[in-house]
Amino acid sequence: DVKVTQSSRYLVKRTGEKVFLECVQDMDHENMFWYRQDPGLGLRLIYFSYDVKMKEKGDIPEGYSVSREKKERFSLILESASTNQTSMYLCASSTLGAGVYNEQFFGPGTRLTVL
Amino acid sequence: AQSVTQLDSHVSVSEGTPVLLRCNYSSSYSPSLFWYVQHPNKGLQLLLKYTSAATLVKGINGFEAEFKKSETSFHLTKPSAHMSDAAEYFCVVRPPNSGYALNFGKGTSLLVTP
Model confidence at B89, pLDDT cuts 50, 70, 90, reads very high
- Eight-state DSSP code of residue A83: G
**Predicted pLDDT at B67:** 92
How distant is the Cα of A15 from the closest Cα of chain B, in angstroms?
25
Beta strands A19-25 and A31-38 are unpaired
| Residue B105 pLDDT | 92
What's the pLDDT band for A41 if we cut at 50, 70, 90? confident
Higher pLDDT, A25 or B30: A25
What's the maximum distance between 2 C-alpha atoms anywhere in chain B? 45
Mean pLDDT for chain B overall? 90
pLDDT of residue A40: 84
Close Cβ partners of B14 (under 8 Å, ≥ 6 residues apart): B81, B112, B113, B114
Interior angle at CA B44, CA B41 and CA B45, nearest 5 = 120
Cα–Cα dist B112/B39, whole Å: 13
pLDDT at A25 over 60: yes
Is pLDDT of B8 > 70?
yes
Number of other CB atoms surrounding residue A74 within 10 Å: 29
Mean pLDDT of chain A: 91
Q: What is the pLDDT of residues B33-73, one digit of tens each?
A: 999 999 987 889 999 998 777 889 999 999 999 999 889 99
Q: Is pLDDT at A66 greater than 60 in this prediction?
A: yes
> What's the pLDDT at B59?
94
Query: Under an 8 A CB cutoff, do B101 and A107 touch?
Result: no
Other residues' Cβ atoms within 10 Å of the Cβ of residue A90: 24
Nearest beta carbon to residue A43 from set B51, B96, B104: B104
Which chain A residue's Cα is nearest to B107? A42
Question: Which residues on B lie below 8 Å from A58 (Cβ)?
Answer: 101
Assess whether pLDDT exceeds 80 at residue A57: yes
Distances (CA, A) of A27 to A30, A36, A75, A97, B55: 9, 23, 17, 12, 30
Chain A contact for B29 (CB, 8 A cutoff): no
Pairwise CA distance, residues A78 & A18, whole Å: 6
Query: Out of A31, A56, A90, whose CB is closest to B43?
Result: A90
Task: Return the DSSP state at B58.
Answer: E
CB-based contact B43 A101, cutoff 8 Å: no
pLDDT the model gives residue A18: 97
In the structure, what pLDDT confidence band is assigned to residue A46 with cuts at 50, 70 and 90? very high
Q: How far apart (Å, rounded) are the C-alpha atoms in residues B76 and B5?
A: 13
CA A87 to chain centre: 12
Does residue B99 carry a pLDDT above 70? no
| H helix and E strand count, chain A | 0, 11
